[in-house]
Structure 1
Amino acid sequence: MSGQHHVMVVDDEAAARDMVGEYLSLHGFRVTLCDGGPALRRAMATERADLVVLDLDMPGEDGLSVLRDIKRRAPVPVIMLTATAAPTDRIVGLEVGADDYLAKPCELRELLARVRALLRRLAAPAAVPGSAGRTETVRFGTKILDLAAHVLRDDEGRELPLTASEFSLLKAFAENPRRVLSRDRLLDLAGARDPDAFDRAIDVRITRIRRKIEPDPDTPAYIKTVRGAGYMFMPEGETR
């Protein structure tokens, strides 16, 4: 699968950038190296990126600013790298829209596994039981999720930005309606596990999703919190 994918690596440190780029290239990915936000924008203006590996701790325009700009331009999955150990700094990246993250210096084999896992989730057939031979859509509150196209739309057919991890969560809920899914189980399905802050990581993603699908995100009717247990998808806002 990797030979068909284009990864852009953004890091102001040439040694780190070259090391990551060379490793991914050795494993069959096509790689573009960028030394910061301006170089990434130039690259994305001429070529499509399947995934971006982004360093957050860069001088000048920091990684969070670059991340926001990426997500405004296209629904490209982003793995962020950070030398900061504090879980709160990683949570900020998740809130902005990162799909996964690793601490620097990262183990290259783990980075490769994360890249492959994220691309695999995007490419995997997304059908629920009984959907063979047809496109499956599931309504989530005010929006409709197209499982085959990995797209969230409103009733007028307009697409809404959706990160890979958000899609993975919505797919998990679509396949398990009216069932309580623990945070641990949801993280297994959506990726980006952090042993120091996994509860907060999943809560951030759920909050982002609720803002997109719930008429009133502060009083969710479709993805409900089950205190002490996790979350439950209630089709059409059903009550328990």
Structure 2
Amino acid sequence: MRIHGVGASPVSRCLLVDDDTALLDAVAPYLGGFGFAVTAVETGAAMRQAVMAQEFDVVVLDVLLPDDNGLELCRWLRRTHTTPLVMLTAQGDPFSRVVGLEMGADDFVPKPFEPRELVARLNAVLRRVSREGGATAGTVPARSERFAGWSFDRLSRVLVSPSDEVVPLSNAEYRLMTVFADHAGQVLSRERLVELTTSPGADVNARSVDLMVFRLRRKLSSGPADRPLIRTVRGAGYLFDGGAGP
């Protein structure tokens, strides 16, 4: 385990997980120079230990590790933490990006990358999470809203069904639900949904949006089958009908 940036008045705690020691030696000090307190580890086991031992503001995780699968680590992290997660993937690896989004990753950076790009992505993710989650001191967003018997709790990041069942949301599902709730009754194209739910420059395509909508629609499936809350508008995109149902 390596610690970087603690002497430069860091503002964000970052856990960097990659088995490439050359990458760790280059990127960790670079992030430290931009205000990140970086804990660098090389294995999935070390990541689990670090996450259980302390809190981090953001995690950067390589998909391929010698002792664990990065996508499974993403799933594990999402079960108990809402820490923003940026995944490092091989260039041209759409499968990992799609699956990672489904499991709750916030952004992806393909290898090889410029350290400055990673800094920009991390800052964008942290800004977005601060806006969405109300973590910034002095800001308290509306806690919940109701539609068609459902309740969407923005602070807890959960849905509560008409039968009072708590339905947890991944980070990607939470962002998508927030966008739909904020644009109820409006048709949103796939391109617009990508723009509203991901960081600028993120390599996310329309297929990824379709998969995220599918997963969120499945969680909102307790209503009548012929009156879904998220409707497909052929040739245009998706519409969230917050007034559907009884």
Instruction: Give me the TM-score of the superposition, normalised by structure 1.
Output: 0.83
Structure-2 residue corresponding to 1:54: 61
Q: Structure 1's 150 and 27: CA in aligned 2 closer, same or farther, altered over 3 A?
A: farther
Conserved 8 A contact 1:52-1:76: yes
Distance 2:52 2:133 in 1: 30
> Identity percentage over the alignment?
37
Counterparts of 2:206 and 2:224, CA distance in 1: 19
Residue number in structure 2 paired with 1:139: 146
Whole-angstrom CA distance in 2 between matches of 1:44 and 1:205: 26
Structure 1 residues 84 and 162, CA, compared in 2 at 3 Å: closer, same or farther?
same
Cα 1:184–1:15 shift into 2, 3 Å:
same
Which residue among 66, 73, 80 is the counterpart of 1:73? Answer: 80
Aligned match for 2:157, one of 147, 151, 161: 151
4+ runs deviating over 6 angstroms = 193-196, 216-220
Task: Name the stretch that deviates more: 138-147 or 14-23.
Answer: 138-147
Structure 2, unpaired ranges of 5+: 1-8
Relative to 1, partners in 2 of residues 1:154 and 1:37: Cα closer, same or farther, differing over 3 Å? same
- Give 5+ residue unaligned stretches, structure 1: none
Q: Secondary structure at the match of 2:92?
A: coil
> Residue 127 of structure 2: which of 120, 130, 149 is its match?
120
Aligned residue for 1:235, secondary structure, equals: coil
Residue 33 (structure 2) aligns with: 26
Q: What secondary structure does 1:228 align onto?
A: coil
RMSD: 3.0
Confirm whether residue 160 of structure 1 aligns to residue 144 of structure 2. Answer: no
Matched positions, count: 232
Tell me if the contact between 2:194 and 2:204 (Cα under 8 Å) persists in the aligned partners: no
- Letter of the aligned partner of 1:144 in structure 2? S
Q: TM-score w.r.t. structure 2 length?
A: 0.81
Question: Is the partner of 1:16 in helix, strand or coil?
Answer: helix
Aligned-partner residue type, residue 160 of structure 2 = D
C-alpha spacing 1:134/1:172, structure 2 compared with 1 (3 Å) = closer
Q: Deviations over 1:156-195 (max 9, x none)?
A: 58572431x3332222212211100111111111115778
- Which residue identity does 1:224 align to in structure 2? R
